[in-house]
Amino acid sequence: MTAEGRRQQIGPGGGVPPVGSAPLDQVFDGGSLYALRAAVAAHAAAAGLGRLQVYDVTAVAHELAANAVVHGAGHGRLRLWADGGFLYCQVSDDGPAVPADEAGEAADGAAAWPAEHGHGLWLASEVADDVGIGIGPAGTTATARFPLNPE
Amino acid sequence: MAADAGVQVTELGAEDHACLTFGEPEDLFDLTAAFVRDGLAAGLKVVWLSDASPGQAAGELGRRGVAVESAMARGQMTAAGWEGRLLSGPVFRADAAVGWLAGELESCREQGFPGLRVALDMSWALRPVAGVEELPEFEDGIAAALDGSTAAVLCQYDRERFDPVTLASVAGFHTRAVAAATYHADALLRICRQYAPPGIRIAGELDFQAGESLGMALAEAVRLGGDIMINMSALAFVDARCTLMIADAARAIASLSRLVTLRCLPEVAAGFARLGLDGIPGIRLAASGDR
């Protein structure tokens, strides 16, 4: 995580896309993860990211969506938007929340989750500039942030 | 004689008249390389007829770890076109083609080789060639020529391009059916054995939903013995769970003092490096070229 990332952390409720600014807003389930990845890759490339960064954004989007499929409602919604020099990828689902210990570790970016369940979130915390997880009665929202002009 | 179901290309021997069906050029070159490699290693004479030039054929084999230039130079290996062997211009005659094979058997004996291996890319039969209806007669003639010989013939058919009726009509003349062992094949992902160099090949997009197929393929890679390549040159995406599974298998193979090569795109290689695989003795992370 960069120093700048720490200064502007995503809050526990996750970021909120500015009204009317989400260029990608797509629902998904286990059978449409490929289409979701393709859409995220296309939008990340259009936002100006290079090949390796496009792959990283796509990988994180996949892991957050896969968590919703496997550990959450089985389906969810992904939104991708650019704001203030960052690209945000947010996945929400209305299923049961992930266990609190996993969510807590995800929120503060700690490592050492059990591989089977937490490796995707570990990857997200390694690759993204910041990751925020919000859990409420309406479900789980995970938001990852990437700088649009990586050094 | 009817074809046996599913024999490995590495199990072929004298008198085998094998029908190789393949779905993509990568399969064709991989299985051909294994057939050529094992033939040369056994001291046999090897002939491969295709539409590739001798240089291209040597290049494809060389990329798969089978160096054939010296075998070509000393007359042990021939890579050639169909013209003057199976075809005479745009004309195919079964008796002439069988005559060519008989001549190869004869010259192989005269040159003192203990046996002959012939790989025949049959895609010439997809072209507007007169006499192509004699194809079953040719396959029957090969079977007769091989009877009691020390030779093996591998006929190579593209199952995507040959119609099922043609494939069915020639299948019965073969004693063996050969195809790449496949663990997973759908529109998004293919996981299969790789024969030269030995290992597995994963192409397309891989995520947790194919974890079971990947697990079977990796278990086979561990069982194969010797050095292993996990060829992911055409793998465009792999998720965190499958990256971890592949990394664990690589560590397991390396811990047995075997070399494991992970060939993959730079962005996929970065995922393995993130797991600490870069620089582990016995594990080679080889970035392949651009897609």
**The pLDDT value given to residue A149:** 81
**Beta strands in chain A, from DSSP E residues, in sequence order:** 24-29, 75-83, 86-93, 130-136, 139-147
Determine the pLDDT at residue A18.
Answer: 65
Taking the Cβ of residue A51 and every Cβ of chain B, the question of whether any pair is shorter than 8 Å is answered with yes
Q: Three-class SS of residue A149?
A: coil
Residues 6+ apart with CB under 8 A from A38: none
Which of A63, A69, A117, A131 is best to mutate for the B interface (most B CBs within 10 A)? Answer: A63
Q: B161: burial class by Cβ within 10 Å (0-12, 13-18, 19+)? A: exposed
> Given CB atoms, is A58 within the 8 Å cutoff of chain B?
yes
State residue A143's pLDDT score: 94
pLDDT for res A12: 54
Give the mean pLDDT of B48-66.
Answer: 93
Residue B258 has pLDDT above 50, yes or no: yes
Q: Is the peptide bond before A96 cis (omega within 30 degrees of 0)?
A: no
ipTM for the complex? 0.80
Contact A37 B209 (CB under 8 A): no
| Residue B195: band (very low, low, confident or very high) from pLDDT cuts 50, 70, 90 | very high
Q: Is A35 near chain B, with CB under 8 Å?
A: no
Residue A138 vs residue B101, higher pLDDT: B101
The reply to whether residue B208 touches residue A70, judged by beta carbons under 8 angstroms, is: yes
Look at residue A57 and tell me whether its pLDDT is greater than 50.
yes
Tell me which residue of B240, B245, B251 sits closest to B285, measured CA to CA: B251
Q: Which tens digit of pLDDT belongs to each residue from B213-255?
A: 999 999 999 998 899 999 999 999 999 999 999 999 999 999 9
Interface of B with A in 163-192 (CB under 8 A): 188
Smallest CA–CA distance from B204 into chain A, residue: A34
Instruction: State the pLDDT at residue A9.
Output: 66
Q: Measuring CA to CA, how many Å separate B96 from each of A68, B100, B142, B145, B178?
A: 65, 6, 12, 13, 26
Taking CA–CA distances from B189, the nearest residue in chain A reads: A34
Option in A33, A55, A126 nearest B274 (CB): A126
| Mean pLDDT, chain B, whole residue set | 93
> B110 vs B39, B42, B115, B289, CA distance in Å?
18, 18, 11, 45
Could you read off the pLDDT of A8-37 as tens digits, one per residue? 567 655 566 666 666 899 999 999 999 999
Whole-number pLDDT of residue B7: 86
pLDDT value at residue A111:
35
A72: confidence class by pLDDT, cuts 50, 70, 90: confident
Residue B103 confidence (pLDDT) above 70: yes
Task: Round to whole Å and give the CA distance between A141 and B143.
Answer: 66
pLDDT of res. A21: 60
Measured between CB atoms, does B276 come within 8 Å of chain A? no
Lowest mean pLDDT among A21-25, B97-101, B182-186, B228-232: A21-25
Q: Which pLDDT band, with edges at 50, 70 and 90, does A7 fall under? A: very low
Taking contacts as CB-CB distances below 8 angstroms, the residues of chain A near B269 are none
Inform me whether the pLDDT recorded for B98 exceeds 70.
Answer: yes
Question: Which pLDDT score, from 0 to 100, does residue A22 have?
Answer: 67
pLDDT tens-digit series, residues A85-130: 999 999 999 876 555 445 444 444 333 333 345 788 889 999 999 9
pTM of the model: 0.84
Which of A11-25, B96-110, B206-220, B264-278 shows the lowest per-residue confidence on average (mean pLDDT)? A11-25
